[in-house]
Structure 1
Amino acid sequence: MDSHDNNNSSPWGLAAPAPSARIAPKIWPVGALCLAISDALQARFHTVTVEGEISGLTKASSGHWYFSLKDASGQLRCAMFRRAASLVNLPIQEGDRVQAQARVTVYEPRGDLQLVVESLRLAGQGNLYEQFLRLKAQLEQEGLFDSARKRPLAAIPAGVAVVTSVNAAAWHDIMTAFRRRAPHVPVLLVPALVQGQEAPASLRQALQKLYQGIEQGTLRRADGSHWQIDTIVLARGGGSIEDLWAFNDPQLARLIVQSPVPLVAGIGHETDVTIADWCADVRAPTPTAAAELVAASAQQLGQQLSHRQDRLAQVMDRQLLGQEQRLQRIAQALSRPSALLARHGSRLDQYAHAMRLAAQSQLQRTAFRLDQLQLNTPRSVQKSVQQHSQQLAQAELRLRMLDPQRVLERGYAIVTNPAGEVVRDALQAMPIEPLHVRLAKGSLRVQVLDVKE
């Protein structure tokens, strides 16, 4: 019999091979493994673009941003360092859906998978939103958003023109609000496209025709009566940024600020903002809110009228009370004229006494000042007066010596012809001509007998 005691033999009598030596497994340090995984991820994915919702946004004082990107299926931690964060020009906030360009890495201290974000932009908007921001900055520099030019709305509008699509829900919402709050306010629909490539031109054309009709008074109702429009509402329902893009047209923005009457923009939902909203005189969050801003409800008008009536009554009561008190004072004064005259007489006596005292005091002060002037007059002044007196006496003596009367007293005479002219030459006289001779005492009338040279 064959023996089967040998464990190394095979059932067929062959020897079994000897067992081979085992290879020892590699032992990884944790940090080294994290680094290896990070290198592998970066080599596999390099730079990726990830879309998700911002969650847990923290903007550190160092300038770094930390947040998570999540969607319905997963969540990734993200870090955006100061250099990259400083280049973000968008108002990123909690809950925004964004597209992040990032590198996939592992944060070794915690072993967490994370994204190192290099750039961010809002998802679903992207280039359109960036274009919106550039356009907004340009038009703001042109002064289209200046609050100083914005006008208040009429308290009670005479007529409202609504520029929107005839089939839009915004038109239905606006009319519902007007019928509920102010059915007395007439509303004119100015139809225009509010979405699509042709919408900007359609909106501009509608506004231009409306402006012209308001300025020229050519807007007529079906019965031929005149429309009095003092408020314009530019409206559209909500939608994506692409749907509302017609209201970001720069030519439309420049046309809005030229409106001859206050213009209200009620475009989209409360979170939607367009260039037209910034240019309008008043921005409403929705079309319905625009109608409510334009037309106060009958209840509000009643409250305003009641308040003004109360204020008017208070003013009238104060005026009447004041006039009544004044009449009472006058009646009391007229009922006792003697007392009134006595008071006035006493007052006049007081005034007269005060005037006498004032006059006496003034005279005393004037006399005192004259005395002081006489005492303080310098001797040089007195000497100057004497010298001038002597000069005047000498001038008077010279004038007296030149007096024609003195010449006549020395035996001379003054001869004048009938014309009153002084005869200085014999040839000035004519024979038989009468002459007048003035002497020192008296005068003579003579006749020329003969003329000799």
Structure 2
Amino acid sequence: MSEISREILSVSDLNRAIAASLEDRFDTVWVSGEISNFKAYDSGHWYFSLKDEEGQIRCVMFRGRNGQVGFMPQSGDLVEVSANLGMYVPRGDIQLTIKTLRRAGMGGLYEAFLKLKAKLAKEGLFDEERKREIPTHPRSIGIVTSPQAAALKDVLSTLARRAPHIPIVIYPTLVQGSDAPSGIIAALKAAEKEQVVDVILLVRGGGSIEDLWAFNDEQLAYVIASSPIPVVSGVGHETDFTIADFVADLRAPTPTGAAELAAPRRDQMLQELDAIMQALLQRINQRVEREAQTLDQLALRLSHALPNPDRMREQITNWQQRLNQAWAVRMDNWKRNQVHYQSQLEMLNPQRTLERGYSVILSREDNQLRAVRGPGELSTETVFQIQMADGGAEVRLADIKISP
């Protein structure tokens, strides 16, 4: 084939062909190197180069991927990345499109961190809805850390400066090593049992991922999530992220930051109290003025409502006279009624009937006397009692002849 008959490619076509060849030739690759010229754009994308002693390659990590990194890379960091190899066609630069990034040497630890983070996120332990509100004015503050940690000194110094009036309770524990997770859990449980603090600061200074690994413990994450006392996590430096940071109710960039977030400034509180006092005094003065005005109005109404004393005495005399008259009338009525009732009772008295010449025959049954009402009740065998006006007599009938 002659030179004239060969296809002539444009630069863009050639770059696209090279890019397609690279993408077909290389699957996901793992590359280690030192970061240089790191730039984080407002779009959220990261651009940098990876280099070693003999070469370098451009890299890009898009926002959707770098949100899972857990720390902010800096130039000079040694990292390991998984990426797709390709070419940025407009410039003809070979580049790595990074999918995951971790600190060099982390290997399995970082993979375990990402795996546990994904699991707990799926379970909802990182959800904002379940996080407890940090009290704005805690009555006491608990600190879970190592007594020998430099972070404790920084936290105590910050709390003494900002809020010297708030009591501090330290729950000592290891914060590094294989026994640290169980120690931190025990310290949190002790604070939960005592119920003497309103907020807990879980703090430790910076270090490598191995140094901070105790704060990536799964059981510790569940204990933090279930703690009835709000937890503020201040572990490592600003670029360090642990599982405890994601589960805690509030994450601070540093131990000092945790103390600042948990304790209000004393001078600011005094200013707030002064403002509240001024507002209360104003409200009290306004209330006193309103009540004084109301009292004046009531006094005026009372002065108009009070009657003339002479008039009151005259009314009392009239009421007494009317009461006496009503009582006299009532007594006369009672007396007349009593005479009438006595006359009625006298008319119904059986003795009056006997005095008019009548008699009554009584028979005894069951030790009781009752009047004989018919001739059929008479008997020659029974003793009858005849009651008359002047007395009575017992008789026995010799013969009974019943009249028609």
TM over 0.5: yes
Q: Say whether the 8 Å CA contact 2:131–2:248 is kept in structure 1.
A: no
1:183/1:100 CA distance change after superposition, 3 Å: same
2:119 aligned with 1:135: yes
Q: For residue 321 of structure 1, report the CA deviation from its aligned partner.
A: 0.6
1:446/1:248 CA distance change after superposition, 3 Å: farther
Q: 1:276 aligns with which of 244, 253, 277?
A: 244
Q: 1:265 aligns with which of 223, 233, 245?
A: 233
Higher relative CO (Cα under 8 Å, sequence separation at least 6) belongs to 2
Cross-structure match for 2:8? 29
Q: Say whether the 8 Å CA contact 2:71–2:239 is kept in structure 1.
A: no
Q: 1:337 aligns with which of 297, 304, 307?
A: 304
3-state SS of 1:319 partner = helix
1:417/1:153 CA distance change after superposition, 3 Å: same
User: How many angstroms apart in 2 are the aligned matches of 1:34 and 1:230?
Assistant: 62
User: How many angstroms apart in 2 are the aligned matches of 1:58 and 1:155?
Assistant: 38
User: How many angstroms apart in 2 are the aligned matches of 1:253 and 1:328?
Assistant: 67
Q: For residue 246 of structure 1, report the CA deviation from its aligned partner.
A: 1.9
Q: Say whether the 8 Å CA contact 2:69–2:102 is kept in structure 1.
A: no
Letter in 1 for 2:92: D
Q: 2:100 aligns with which of 115, 121, 130?
A: 121
Residue by residue, what CA displacement relative to the aligned partner does 1:48-87 show, whole Å, maximum 9, x if unpaired? 335666866979xxxxxx986634675547799xxxx99x
Q: 1:302 aligns with which of 241, 260, 270?
A: 270
Q: For residue 139 of structure 1, report the CA deviation from its aligned partner.
A: 4.4
User: How many angstroms apart in 2 are the aligned matches of 1:270 and 1:106?
Assistant: 33
User: How many angstroms apart in 2 are the aligned matches of 1:162 and 1:67?
Assistant: 37
User: How many angstroms apart in 1 are the aligned matches of 2:266 and 2:61?
Assistant: 56
Cross-structure match for 1:101? 83
User: How many angstroms apart in 2 are the aligned matches of 1:232 and 1:321?
Assistant: 47
Q: For residue 303 of structure 1, report the CA deviation from its aligned partner.
A: 0.8
Cross-structure match for 1:432? 381
Q: For residue 235 of structure 1, report the CA deviation from its aligned partner.
A: 0.9
Cross-structure match for 2:224? 256
* 1:159-238 equivalent positions in 2, closer than 5 A: 159-212=140-193, 214=194, 229-238=197-206
Q: For residue 94 of structure 1, report the CA deviation from its aligned partner.
A: 12
Q: 2:92 aligns with which of 86, 93, 112?
A: 112
1:315/1:38 CA distance change after superposition, 3 Å: closer
Q: 2:132 aligns with which of 141, 150, 171?
A: 150
User: How many angstroms apart in 1 are the aligned matches of 2:301 and 2:374?
Assistant: 91
Residue by residue, what CA displacement relative to the aligned partner does 1:300-338 show, whole Å, maximum 9, x if unpaired? 23212211210121121012111221232234345x537
Q: For residue 174 of structure 1, report the CA deviation from its aligned partner.
A: 0.5
Give the structure with higher Rg (CA).
Answer: 1
User: How many angstroms apart in 1 are the aligned matches of 2:4 and 2:118?
Assistant: 60
1:167/1:26 CA distance change after superposition, 3 Å: farther
User: How many angstroms apart in 2 are the aligned matches of 1:258 and 1:251?
Assistant: 11
Cross-structure match for 1:323? 291
Q: Say whether the 8 Å CA contact 2:200–2:229 is kept in structure 1.
A: yes
3-state SS of 1:140 partner = coil
User: How many angstroms apart in 1 are the aligned matches of 2:40 and 2:6?
Assistant: 38
What percent of counterpart residues are identical?
30
Residue by residue, what CA displacement relative to the aligned partner does 1:249-304 show, whole Å, maximum 9, x if unpaired? 23223333554644433223445444434544444332212222333333123212
Across the aligned residues of Structure 1 and Structure 2, the Cα RMSD in angstroms comes to 4.9
Q: For residue 435 of structure 1, report the CA deviation from its aligned partner.
A: 7.0
Q: Say whether the 8 Å CA contact 2:72–2:239 is kept in structure 1.
A: no
Letter in 2 for 1:175: L
2:241 aligned with 1:287: no
User: How many angstroms apart in 1 are the aligned matches of 2:88 and 2:165?
Assistant: 68
User: How many angstroms apart in 2 are the aligned matches of 1:236 and 1:79?
Assistant: 30
Q: How many residues align?
A: 318
User: How many angstroms apart in 1 are the aligned matches of 2:400 and 2:66?
Assistant: 126
TM-score (norm 2): 0.59
* 1:33-44 equivalent positions in 2, closer than 5 A: 37=18, 41=22
